[in-house]
A and B are shown apart, each in its own frame.
Chain A
């Protein structure tokens, strides 16, 4: 069953078309990666799903809900089930790890409790449990500006996990990390999708990593879907088409025959 169904999604920034007629379906629990050049529309696509960017036209259905028909309050409710992970982590640097993780619960709380930062014991236990699973138990009371990039991103993942999401949107989650931290993050996200059956929709620059981890790859070029299928079916020629010119040669060397 599709947890996310996008049909004919188009987005204009003034006169510039960022996305044109994008249609795709993501099954529950699937690990889907979107690849494409910088400025191809990957980020816009991801942000249209939770309406952090308003689409110009088209239909987005998440878990049976027509996202574009939602009012303010309903949109907030829908967003609680969609986690989001960012390239620059987007944490509050001066707060501790556990405080940042608990921010993921604010969407479920009343304005009063949320504004005062009052969390239940269940929520705190859940947050601790998630941190343990991500290997951050020791850093729990450290301020986030004292963490390494890889640790910060794990805090970002923990924050989205305490939301109990059905879908996690990952916008270039490893673009500002060194290769070893990047691998740790990708492994965690892979396990989250496999063990917790949480759907992952991810933007990625590294084609080889996309091929290694994804159930499915979507190639975007100038706002249009030019590839949608099994990573094994992604050939050098297609990569060249997605990225333009002979980029396929460099990007493809070790990842496929």
Chain B
């Protein structure tokens, strides 16, 4: 009997804790809207009008469809740049991950430096990188490529490091114990163990980079982002809408393709 009272108490405590968390989140949201003087009623009232405007202007028309060849060309450019940035970044990130991971690092100091560089690259947004690089490299494909490269490099270094620690730790231990040289341990045990995850992360980054490349392109005046910006600023909204639809279609297509690829690899 005493036991069941204890159990009921424990459950009541758990429910109260959940309620407390929920209340805290509600208070935080409400507090934020007061601090930023966010006007809820006015904002909600703005929705119907905004949606109405989008429905009226942001629908591709005949004229927009005539731009299809130009859009396809720029989209292809964007996709290729994204793939290029991902592949180059992955190669560099792979080397850095081997130097940085707990399992394979040659020295803790090296690992610390690698982590610092990766974190710096990752935590400055790609768009910020693009704006910084714009000043030194100018408005061209190279600037976009380097911005995507830096962000991807930072992210993949960390992802690969975790993959190495997760997938290769035990076999590395075995090979180290047998007196195998460091480089042989990396190529014979680490590489085959992490290859599927590495491929999966790369596919994910290609998808992400196509989305980011659009944003970066607006700044660097290249790729599909440039075209969107052009149509948008010349008030050619149907064409701008068509560009957005094309991007969505391509991203979904690539996502589907890479999911199929993942199933084969993993």
Report the minimal beta-carbon distance from A48 to chain B, rounded to whole angstroms.
12
In this assembly, does B9 line the interface, its C-beta being within 8 Å of a C-beta of chain A?
Answer: no
**Do A84 and B181 have beta carbons less than 8 Å apart?**
no
Q: When the two chains form the complex, which single residue of A83, A92, A93, A116 contacts B178, counting CB atoms closer than 8 Å?
A: A83
Interface residues on chain A, number (Cβ under 8 Å)? 36
Report the minimal beta-carbon distance from A170 to chain B, rounded to whole angstroms.
12
Spot the interface stretch: A32-40, A107-115, A127-135: A107-115
B195 surroundings in chain A (CB, below 8 A): 94
**Do A52 and B193 have beta carbons less than 8 Å apart?**
no
**Do A84 and B174 have beta carbons less than 8 Å apart?**
yes
**Do B174 and A106 have beta carbons less than 8 Å apart?**
no
- Name the CB-closest residue of A to B190: A92
In this assembly, does A199 line the interface, its C-beta being within 8 Å of a C-beta of chain B?
Answer: no
**Do A52 and B184 have beta carbons less than 8 Å apart?**
no
A59-99 interface bits toward B, Cβ cutoff 8 Å, 1 = contact, 0 = none = 00000000000000001111110111010111111110000
A79-B177 in contact given A106-B184, A114-B183 (Cβ < 8 Å): yes
In this assembly, does A163 line the interface, its C-beta being within 8 Å of a C-beta of chain B?
Answer: yes
**Do B179 and A77 have beta carbons less than 8 Å apart?**
yes
**Do A114 and B179 have beta carbons less than 8 Å apart?**
no
B192 surroundings in chain A (CB, below 8 A): 92, 94-95
On chain B, which size bracket covers the interface? 20 to 34
**Do A91 and B174 have beta carbons less than 8 Å apart?**
yes
**Do B188 and A111 have beta carbons less than 8 Å apart?**
no
Q: When the two chains form the complex, which single residue of B170, B178, B196 contacts A104, counting CB atoms closer than 8 Å?
A: B178
**Do A92 and B193 have beta carbons less than 8 Å apart?**
yes
B170 surroundings in chain A (CB, below 8 A): 86, 88-90
In this assembly, does B110 line the interface, its C-beta being within 8 Å of a C-beta of chain A?
Answer: no
A244 surroundings in chain B (CB, below 8 A): none
Q: Which residues of A contact B (CB under 8 A)?
A: 50, 52, 75-80, 82-84, 86, 88-95, 103-104, 106-109, 111, 114-117, 156, 159-160, 163, 169
10 contacts between A and B (CB under 8 A): A76-B180, A92-B171, A94-B195, A94-B196, A106-B175, A106-B178, A106-B181, A106-B184, A108-B179, A116-B187
